[in-house]
């Protein structure tokens, strides 16, 4: 059961956001400027079980120490990416903050030309 039904809508509301489905991974991927900023990972029963987001390493480490349901990024760089178990134990406001931060970090990493093309500057 997805305790956060608003996640997909809010991820797609970001300026320049695109979404696709990576069938071999069973992931719904969210990108901006062709770069991943979020992924919703499904299990074998197609239940959404993880939300993976990028954070500054220190913030990610701090959150993983505070919350058992925030773990190193599933199939991702464990320093920069974090996965949130979608079982309802993480506060909505924290997930929203993490989503915003992940998007901001990825936009900041895009070339200025791409940021301008997407009206992100």
Given a cut of 70, is residue 121 above it in pLDDT? no
CA distances 88 to 33, 45, 91, 93, Å, are 30, 18, 8, 12
Strands 81-85 and 27-32: unpaired
Please write down the HEC assignment for all residues of 91-105.
CHHHHHHHHHHHHHH
Quote the pLDDT of residue 118. Answer: 84
What is the tens place of the pLDDT at every residue in 26-84? 999 999 999 999 999 999 999 999 999 999 999 999 999 999 999 999 777 778 999 99
- Contacts (Cβ under 8 Å, ≥6 apart) of 114: 33, 34
Two tokens, residue 56: 């500054």
Q: For residues 118 and 116, give the distance between their C-alpha atoms in angstroms, rounded to a whole number.
A: 5
Domains (range + CATH), the chain: 7-117 (3.90.1150.30)
Quote the pLDDT of residue 6. Answer: 95
β-partners of residue 54 are 81
Grade residue 120 by pLDDT with cuts at 50, 70 and 90. Answer: confident
């Amino acid at each position: 059961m997805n305790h956060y039904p608003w996640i997909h809508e809010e991820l797609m509301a970001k300026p320049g956001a695109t979404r696709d489905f990576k069938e071999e991974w069973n992931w719904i991927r969210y990108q901006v400027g062709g770069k991943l900023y979020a992924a919703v990972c499904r299990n074998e029963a197609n239940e959404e079980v993880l939300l993976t987001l990028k954070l500054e390493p220190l913030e990610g480490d701090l959150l993983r120490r505070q919350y058992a349901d925030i773990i190193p990024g599933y199939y991702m760089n464990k320093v920069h990416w974090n996965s949130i178990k979608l079982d309802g134990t993480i506060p909505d406001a924290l997930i929203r903050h993490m989503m915003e931060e992940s998007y901001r970090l990825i936009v900041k990493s895009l070339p200025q030309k791409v940021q301008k093309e997407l009206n992100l500057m």
